[in-house]
Structure 1
Amino acid sequence: MTHPSRIALRGDLLDFTADPGWALEAGAAVRWRPDHWLLIDAGRIVGAAPGDQPPGDDWQRIDHRGHLLLPGFIDTHVHAPQLDVIASFGTELLDWLNTYTFPAEQRYADAAEAHDGAERFCDALLAHGTTAAVVFPTVHKVSADTLLAAAHARGMRLVTGKVLMDRHAPPGLMDTVESAERDSRELIARWHGTGRLAYAMTVRFAPTSTEAQLDMAGRFLREVPGLYMQTHVAENRAEVAWVRQLFPDARSYLDVYHRHGLLNERAVLAHGIWLDDTDRRLLADTGAQIAHSPSSNLFLGSGLFGWRALEAVGAQVSVASDVGGGTSLSMTRTLAEAYKVQALLGEKLTAWKALYTATRGAAQALGLDAEIGSFEPGRMADLCVWDWAQGIVGERRMAVARDVHERVFAWMTLADERHLRETWVAGQCAHRRLAQAQSGP
């Protein structure tokens, strides 16, 4: 008789024991176990066994032979309300915000709109293979509240918090220092540390917060254990010039945040394209990470991200979709764009480095590697089951692949959400592709 909490999934297991670096031969950092059982008990991974050594009859055995099993992706920077403006034509960052983004975000003042948007967004993450995320809602308290509630109902690991904006925005998207403090305290009391949720002080970006509001956010970080901070930095040259005008006493855009106590090991700053060496060392010294958003950077024409320069001084890099400046919630498509960005800079991003960064690497950067990001025993069973190929082109490419990296790199480059069979969160299947759309065994 099967035990209801014991589940064994059979497939090709891929995860990482450490950072594989940029070399093609990554060695023991890549843990590749073709045709293995992944053993899950009470929502956590407890081990693995070869395919020809199935667990006992007290395990529910689910056979995904011939399919790839990966830890769930971790998206470290994504905007929940911006699904409405994904694939919007023809502007750079600042015009894009005013033309498309701010009007869409104003709709989230309505509780019903915020609720429906939160439900849709969390379901969309799961349908793209993302099981954990660091998310921007809007300035409205109800937007953060409904997003946290939707993630909690699904058992997801989510980091978010109401956006802080008390200047340089439409009236319907501005708060005050006082209202932001009140709303943040109430949301933290309700949600921070509830289930798998964590709260983030969410500074939209430096131009839309006064120094008083930035000080308030820094004070929260000092007072409340475990809070995160998320914002944007140095995405676009016009934005950088604007920050220089608004904060003439700061050495750099990044220094604005540092002066207000916003940089620490739980700080996630999106983009980081236009940084200098002093900025990079500051990121390393404070433990803050840059959430590289390649599809967004290309789509908005923001610039090319110097990944290797950041890592050379010990700064942390994760990868993010940034939707809606980005063009897909799919982390595989995002990683394929990251490869292209690095190729333009003369670097070659291997599948090992890319997938590590979107799984265990992101978990480590967020301080969550004891919970998510790998198939280590004790980790939460957040994982995805993928088709290796879909369609004539993908199937032929897999048939002629000469080694494991070539196969995985081709999969990463060609795959999207249509390759996803199942998404599991905490040992429960949270998304399954419709049966009639499935192919293979």
Structure 2
Amino acid sequence: MAISNQEMKIEPLAYQLIQKFETKTAKIGVVGLGYVGLPLAVEKAKAGYSVIGFDVQQEKTQMVNKGINYIGDVVDEDLITYTKQGRLKATTDYSLIGELDAVAICVPTPLDIYQQPDTSYVECSTREISQYIRKGMLVVLESTTYPGTTEEIVKPILEESGLICGKDIFIAYSPERVDPGNKTFNTKNTPKVVGGVTSSCTAVAAVMYREVLESEVHEVTSPAVAEMEKILENTFRNINIALANEMAILCNKMGLDVWEVIDAAATKPYGFMPFYPGPGLGGHCIPIDPFYLTWKAREYNYHTKLIEVAGEINNMMPDFVVNRCVQILNKEGKALKDAKILILGVAYKKDVKDYRESPVLPIINQLEEAGAEWTVVDPHVTEFKLNEKMKKTETTLNDKLLEEADLTIMTTDHSCFDYDQISKKANIIFDTRDAFKDKNVTIDRYYKL
């Protein structure tokens, strides 16, 4: 149902843009065709809009235009259908932004070598947009970042065009919520948070997302609130995983099974939410996002002690894993040097091909430095970068690899692994994921994190 201009109390151009969204006549762009941008572009095309995806990597744009999918959370048939219909196309030509009514920025926001936010991708994308922006356009930043980015970086760059935010153009922040491999929640059905620079900005952005998604769209009072809530989401997980990891270290010293302890605690129907330990944190969000906040907090002369300690605990888990390898091999009368180590999984989580910030990488690095011979098996990852060099993986697990390894480490518990095969053929298993729970397999020499 359309909302009248009087009811909304918004700028005339905002109302006109809302009507375009409601009638599906708006043309929408997505800058950055990675894990966030491509699924969003496909959903907007699926909702009935004409969509242009932008990326600096020509290889990505060519793949999209050919209907070749490279993102796990995108349905192959959807990409093929909408590119064939001409509803979705990709390009490296940013001048086409001038044809759009709205554009979402979904580019990386990594940390630099000093653990400080690198907003260069956001700045470059915004400057490209500012060259072609026109009256009546909406620009939404979706990249995870520190509170203040939208109003301190994006807004000033776009207003260099002479257009006024809230009157001529509309600017908002809506954090991406992507959980690779999640079979229940995806881009379309995950609730969205939207915060605009002005009430008109919020209204326009909220309508766009309501027309595209099937989920609730929650409006907040400013971009900074939306930016902060995203950081809170991932910091919450970071800290609670750190607690689980510290419990794992202590339980190991006390001879207790940390997973049994957590499962017992999880029987309480209130006041407890289970988090589980592992070889460390990985992915593009949880290991990185809290550092945006610790950096920003210094501007207010505040030291985020809890967040930083949690980061230290999580970052030391690869060291703990390697030390446990040493202990396990010693018990078996073997040394880590020259030992053959079989590593099951390099992806940062199960059933995905993403190995960004994977804790398995520093584990491999330490094993190599200690003189161990290692082999990685990962059915989802064919190669990965280690110390600036590409390394090949084995994509199929066979009996020979298991039988020849002195130690098999379960680092990523992919569903496709044959756990019965592993339990029967491996000499020693070190399980960092509690992967064999409920598998009904018999294992002779089996160690847990």
Relative to the length of structure 1, the TM-score reads: 0.27
Bigger Cα Rg = 2
Relative to the length of structure 2, the TM-score reads: 0.26
Higher strand share: 1
